[in-house]
Structure 1
Amino acid sequence: MDGLVFLVIGGFFEPAWVFTLEKGGTYADDVRRKWGWYLVSVFFMFCSLFFMSQGMKTMSVGISYAIWTAVGALVTIAISRLFYAETIGWGKIIAIMMILVGISGLEIVGASA
């Protein structure tokens, strides 16, 4: 179970570095702000990969990567909705539910195997 916690934490850091990297690109004229965002992005990259590597100590690589990626995708969708006002229709809701069911299924099957 500890591995799953590490993967979820790492999954939250994954979209964080993507959004900070994008934020740095918006300050092309202000070099100090641009590089500040890039440094924050590198920090989030390190945290994301560190927590994923900790989760992989107790779980298989394939399941770890699937969970880490799925958490990152779900957080990205939530952040996009909150900060960028992207719409979430029924198709996205169904796809999100399928991701959650898939993650739960991987965890259940992985625990029993």
Structure 2
Amino acid sequence: MAWLVLVVSGLLETVWAIALEKSDGFSRWLPTTIFGVALVLSMAGLGYALRTIPVGTGYAVWVGIGAVGTAIVGMTVLGESASLPRVLCLMLVICGVAGLKFFH
């Protein structure tokens, strides 16, 4: 259950990161609200997961999911560069996160 919560929390990190960008410096109420709610839920989930998952593993997986998710949204929705080197580097992060889960 902790791993599922950790994955959902990592996905929520992507949500709050994108909402933060869309909030325009906290001047738009809807993205700002989404940012706040997603941030609290993401941190609460991380805290729950760290009750049974070691902090180094849990935090690295959480950050990895959030970073890769945010980069994918940036490339597919926000028009950021999707160059081959960027995609290869994201694949390395994914391999690292999978390795942390596999060797836990």
TM-score (norm 1): 0.81
CA RMSD of aligned residues (A): 1.7
Q: How much has 1:94 moved relative to structure 2?
A: 1.7
Contact map agreement 2:17 2:70 (CA 8 A) in 1: no
Q: Which residue of 2 aligns with 1:11?
A: 10
**What is the aligned residue count?**
104
Q: Which residue of 2 aligns with 1:21?
A: 20
Partner secondary structure for residue 25 of structure 1: coil
Structure 2, unpaired ranges of 5+? none
Q: More helix by proportion, 1 or 2? A: 1
Once the two structures are overlaid, the 10-residue window that deviates more, 46-55 or 66-75, is 46-55
Partner secondary structure for residue 46 of structure 2: helix
Partner secondary structure for residue 77 of structure 2: helix
In 2 relative to 1, CA 36–88 (structure 1 residues): closer, same or farther, beyond 3 Å? Answer: closer
* Identical aligned residues as a percent: 23
In 2 relative to 1, CA 108–26 (structure 1 residues): closer, same or farther, beyond 3 Å? Answer: closer
Structure 1, unpaired ranges of 5+? 29-33
TM-score (norm 2): 0.87
Give every structure 1 segment of 4 or more consecutive aligned residues whose post-TM-superposition deviation is greater than 4 Å.
Answer: none
Cα distance in 1 between the residues matched to 2:87 and 2:30: 35
